[in-house]
Amino acid sequence: STNSIIPKPSQCQINKEVFVHDGHSVDTYWINYPPRKLQKDSDKLLLYFHGGGYVSGDIQSHSGFECHLSELFNITILHVEYRLGPEHPLPAAVDDAIAIYRALFYQKISPSQMLFMGDSAGGGLVLLTIQALLAHQLPVPRGVIALSPWTDLSTSGESYKRNREIDVLLYGDDIDWGASQLLGPNHSQLLLNSPLVSPLFGSFKGFPPMFINVGTAEILEDDARQVVKKAQEAGVDVKFEEGLHLMHVYPVFFSYYPEARNTLDNINKWIQTI
């Protein structure tokens, strides 16, 4: 849980809103620190998709980090509590993300005001959601921020071997377990290679500007690098930042590492430019 690393500030304002689609509800949380009111017709809004391997994570695990992002980026954040496996395997999470995005249209918030951000599996979910929006010929948000995104459930990246002994947060077995929880114990390799679960194998044509960040001491390093390469080849404007010798989703450690704070500052500057 990131909240054990970053406690939630007492003045952080968190308001729950439940959206209903296709007969089920999706919990979301409006986060503002310091408290402010979203000007729905003008202000940028950041939709945050938490990590946790698509099987764990929630507002409790991520609100401390999200409150600090709200302060640093001077932005309202909408935390999306998408459905998790194993009860709700992919693409349930993607369906929830699209439903929230559509609902925001009806609240008169335009795609040009929205940013998507996610860490780990949440970073993968952001990419899957953009691919689904493009497949449905829907407008995409203004920009995408992915911290150590999990993009390749087939674990084809060489960094799964190269960084296996030095990754202090993720183990290869965790990834395999997460995939089996998500897809069922008897899933085939074919499914892991499907662009419906591994955005690396999908198309990046038409993507909005992206900021992708990864540590060089994590097994998901190549999950990020390969997406950057494919996206750039598809003509996407990508800003890529690697944290030398740093771990999975290292920006959450901004209180401990100057490099982590520096990356968050760079994301903030990037948001102003897109």
* pLDDT per position as a tens digit, 40-53: 777 899 999 999 99
Domains of the chain and CATH, by start: 2-273 (3.40.50.1820)
Report the C-alpha gap between 208 and 116 in whole angstroms.
10
> What pLDDT sits at residue 27?
96
Q: Is 270 exposed, middle or buried (0-12, 13-18, 19+ CB in 10 A)?
A: middle
Helix (H) or strand (E) holding 28: strand 24-32
Distance, CA of 76 to chain centre: 16
> What pLDDT sits at residue 187?
65
> What pLDDT sits at residue 42?
77
Lowest mean pLDDT among 64-68, 181-185, 224-228, 262-266: 181-185
Catalytically annotated residues: 120, 218, 248
* pLDDT per position as a tens digit, 227-244: 999 999 999 999 999 999
28, 16 Cβ separation under 8 angstroms: yes
Query: What's the pTM value of the predicted model, to 2 decimals?
Result: 0.94
Instruction: Assign 196 a pLDDT band (cuts: 50, 70, 90).
Output: confident
Residue 190 CB neighbours (<10 A): 8
**Which residue type, as a one-letter code, is found at position 205?**
K
* pLDDT per position as a tens digit, 54-87: 999 999 999 999 999 999 999 999 999 999 999 9
C-beta contacts of 22-28 below 8 A and 24+ residues apart: 22/95, 22/99, 24/83, 26/80, 26/81, 26/82, 26/83, 26/96, 26/99, 26/100, 27/59, 27/81, 28/78, 28/79, 28/80, 28/81, 28/100
**Under the phi-then-psi rule, with left for phi > 0, alpha for psi from -120 to 50, and beta for the rest, what region is 77?**
beta
> What pLDDT sits at residue 36?
87
